Amino acid sequence: MSSNTDKFNAPVFDKGEGNTNDDFDIVAFNTRFEDYIDEYEKQRKKREEGYLAELEKKANKNMYKQPNSILQMSLGDIIYNLVNRFLGILVSFLTFEPISVTLSKNNNMFFLGIIIIILFLPIYLF
């Protein structure tokens, strides 16, 4: 490593060498730097607006999505929803939500009927 460079291979100037104040125009530098910052901020705002528009589009798409009908669900979906709805119904009962509200949303009555059948079927058979 030579004595005129540091560990990052950047030139090291001794006093009196290198760039002097005669070569550097501070006003031109500040003007270019401010233009660069303005351009950077415009690009950043444009990226943020694009990202927010994409998120808003996804949110609007999912917000108005109707829950699947029971007839459109596969057996795997029914089993998955059976566990989720059971836990949801349990939480609703524990938080003292009205029964009419709990059973009337998201096909909860159907899944509660399936759960009751699963629970009482072994008792009936044995």
pLDDT digits (tens, 9 = 90+) for 94-118: 998 888 888 888 788 888 899 899 9
**What is the pLDDT confidence band of residue 11, given thresholds at 50, 70 and 90?**
low
pLDDT value at residue 1: 45
Residues 76 and 49 in one domain: no
Same domain? For 5 and 54 the reply is yes
114 and 55 both lie in a single domain: no
Which is higher by pLDDT, 23 or 104?
104
- Contact, 12 vs 19, CB < 8 A? no
Total-model pTM:
0.44
Shared domain check, 91 and 75:
yes
